[in-house]
Amino acid sequence: MHKIIKYVVIDIIRNRIVLGYTFFLLLISLSVFSLEDNTAKGLLTLLNLILFIVPLVSVIFSTIYTYNSAEFVELLLSQPLQRKTIWLSLFSGLASSLCTAFLVGAGIPILLYETSLTGIMLVLCGMLLTAIFVSIAMLAAVYTRDKAKGIGVAILLWIYFALVFDGLILFLLFQFSDYPVEKPLMMLSFLNPIDLTRILILLRLDISALMGYTGAVFKMFMGSSVGLILSFVSLCLWTMIPLILSVRKFNRKDL
């Protein structure tokens, strides 16, 4: 398996897009930290960028790459290799190279300027988000035969997680504004990895004081070690479940 991963990673590096992504992140994070005199504020700005860019780049790049490596996958499939191995190698190759890009581009500056638990958490969350959206992209790619359609589906999924989901939450909050919504709201936030990451990091920053009673309820739960572990477990599940689904589909797919 590690050999296939090696070839996937070599291929991605040769692609140069990931290299560009790394430099882009590096440029942004360095300029954010040097422009903001307050590192907490820098972290906040960077959080917004990470929540926007990381899922978008991960999902689009991975979808396109999965389609483009159809030949490679076909070649491998006629070799004595398990389908699962091939698919998981593709995932690992993609996830590890994009995570490395994130770690170099954003992780190192964050850890240099903000060596705190919050900084480490942000880096960790960014890497998990990368893996999650690689996994979602591969699920979209394995279910749609047509490349253009597959990329469309991937972008729609990103829009759903980045925008539509929050719109739905807003709608629900308007509908149930007279009820205590904190607990259901908390459960809902576990259904969107972007929201979960955003809330996890926000609660660790000073800004959480602005979040009022709801923020306090969230903080009580997610600030506790149980809540923290649960949040990270759910982020891991967000990687695992689409991946498992895509492996199952890929095992039965005709090429």
Partner 1 sequence: MIRIENLSKRFGKLQVLKQIHFTCNQGECIALIGPNGCGKTTLIKSILGLVVPDTGEMYFNNNKMNAQWSYRSKIGYMPQIGRYPDNMSIGQLFTMMKDLRKHEQHILDESLIKTFGIDNMLNKRMNTLSGGTRQKVSAALAFLFNADVLILDEPTAGLDPLSSEQLKEKIIEEKAKGKLILITSHILSELDEVVSHIMYMQEGELIFYKDIGTLQNETAETKLSKMIAKKMIENKQYA
Partner 2 sequence: MKVNLRYLAGCMLLVLLSSWQSNARTLYVGKNHDIHEIKKAILLAQAGDSILVEKGVYKEGNIIVNKRLVLIGLQYPVLDGEGKTEIVTIQSDSCVIKGFKIQHSGYGTLEDPAGLKIMDANYVSILDNIVDDTFFGIYAQYAKHCIIKNNRLTSYGKEEQQIGNGIHCWKSDSLQIIGNTIRGHRDGIYFEFVTNSIIWLNYSEKNIRYGLHFMFSNSDAYIGNVFKNNGAGVAVMFTKDVKMFNNTFEQNWGDAAYGILLKEISDSYIEGNRFIENTSGIYMEGASRVNISKNVFQQNGWAVKIQASCMDVNLNHNNFFGNTFDVGTNGTLVLNNFNSNYWDKYEGYDIDRNRIGDIAYRPISMFSMIVEKIPSVMILFRSIMVTLLDKTEKLLPSITPENLKDDTPLMKPLQL
Both tokens assigned to 20:
């560009």
Residue 38 gets which letter from DSSP? S
| Residue among 71, 148, 187, 225 that touches partner 1 (CB under 8 A) | 71
- How many whole angstroms separate alpha carbon 199 and alpha carbon 95? 23
> Looking only at residues 80 through 139 of this chain, which bind partner 1 when binding is defined by CB under 8 A?
80-83
Cα-Cα-Cα-Cα dihedral of 96, 97, 98, 104, to 10°? Answer: 100
Selection from partner 1, partner 2, none that 170 binds (CB < 5 to 8 A by kind) is partner 2
Selection from partner 2, partner 1, none that 207 binds (CB < 5 to 8 A by kind) is partner 2
The answer to whether 235 and 125 are in contact (CB under 8 A) is yes
- How many whole angstroms separate alpha carbon 62 and alpha carbon 58? 6
Q: Does 226 bind partner 2 (CB under 8 A)?
A: no
> Looking only at residues 183 through 222 of this chain, which bind partner 2 when binding is defined by CB under 8 A?
185, 189, 194-195, 198-199, 202, 206-207, 209-216, 218
| Residue among 43, 47, 76, 95 that touches partner 1 (CB under 8 A) | 76
> Looking only at residues 235 through 254 of this chain, which bind partner 1 when binding is defined by CB under 8 A?
251-254
Stretch that binds partner 2, among 14-22, 60-68, 167-175, 228-236 (CB under 8 A): 167-175
Q: Report phi then psi at 87, rounded to 5.
A: -65, -45
Selection from partner 2, partner 1, none that 225 binds (CB < 5 to 8 A by kind) is none
Selection from partner 2, partner 1, none that 48 binds (CB < 5 to 8 A by kind) is partner 2
**Mind giving me the DSSP string for 158-213?**
HHIIIIIHHHHHHHHHHHTTTS--HHHHHHHHTT-HHHHHHHHHHHHSGGGGGGHH
- How many whole angstroms separate alpha carbon 212 and alpha carbon 209? 6
Selection from partner 2, partner 1, none that 15 binds (CB < 5 to 8 A by kind) is partner 1
Q: How far is the CB of 61 from partner 2 (least distance, A)?
A: 19
- How many whole angstroms separate alpha carbon 203 and alpha carbon 220? 10
- How many whole angstroms separate alpha carbon 250 and alpha carbon 255? 10
Which residues form the interface with partner 1 (CB under 8 A)?
Answer: 3-4, 7, 11, 14-15, 68-72, 74-83, 251-255
Which residues form the interface with partner 2 (CB under 8 A)?
Answer: 38, 44, 47-48, 51-52, 162-163, 166-167, 169-170, 173-174, 177, 181-182, 185, 189, 194-195, 198-199, 202, 206-207, 209-216, 218
